[in-house]
Homo-oligomer: A and B are copies of this chain.
Amino acid sequence: MNNLCAGCAVRDQALCGSLSDEELTALNSVGRRRHVSAGTTVMWSGAENLLCGNLLDGILKMAAAASDGREQIVGLLYAADFFGQPYADEVDFTITALTDAELCTFPRGAFEHVLEHHVRLENLLLQRTLKALNEARGRMLTLARMSATEKVTSLLLEMAARAGPCGCSASHGGPVTFDLPLTRGQMADVLGITIETVSRQLTRLKGAGLIALSGSRTVAIADLGALKTQISAA
């Protein structure tokens, strides 16, 4: 065990969590802690690809941008998620902190070197990458084919599932209350619609009695099952 990893908050969930002490030492020797405040961009699309790492705390967004300023969030990163792209010379997506965040970064080249000498680490990253690929593809259906109502509903359900990790009420469809980790604008960027449309859909769901809003961030879902019927109710 070593100093850096011993006190790591996501030790058991992160990529490195399943490593042996020897492997951990190898990784640790090239790792560095870093705090970034909300709004800070960690990697710029188009820049030289120097870093990757684990997110210890906070939320990051990965975004693709068109030359005229249009933006699409292609992924959100939560605590224990791995970020960056090994084996690429150039950064493809801008990564920005949505909240204050804590990172554990590695120089890309050094990380690749460790990867290639520690089979288990490589296998775990492969599994995570395959999972991320599946999620990205699943989101394509939402982005391209779902209505605004369905998009907002599915994001609410996804956030509810992530916010209530206890699984207490989520399982039996009971009431769930949680705070949205994203602003309306960020939700719009994730869903590929505008701020106004997000707002209108939330108002609509509220009017239909499917959700309750107190403040602009706190959401209460009365009946998960009823909310789910909003999605592809053919």
Contacts and interface: CB of A to CB of B under 8 A. Distances in A.
A74 interface: yes
Contacts of A207: none
Interface residues of A, number: 45
A122 interface: yes
B143 A192 contact: yes
Contacts of A75: 137
Nearest to A71: B145
B130 A130 contact: no
Q: What number of copies of this chain does the assembly contain?
A: 2
A141 B72 contact: yes
A67 B137 contact: no
A116 interface: yes
A93 B139 CA distance: 12
In order of increasing CB-CB distance, the 7 nearest A-B pairs are: A144-B192, A68-B234, A74-B137, A64-B141, A136-B136, A72-B141, A143-B144
9 contacts: A69-B234, A72-B140, A72-B141, A93-B134, A93-B137, A133-B136, A136-B137, A143-B192, A144-B191
Interface of A: 62, 64-72, 74-75, 85-88, 92-93, 115-116, 119, 122-123, 125-127, 129-130, 132-134, 136-141, 143-146, 191-192, 232, 234
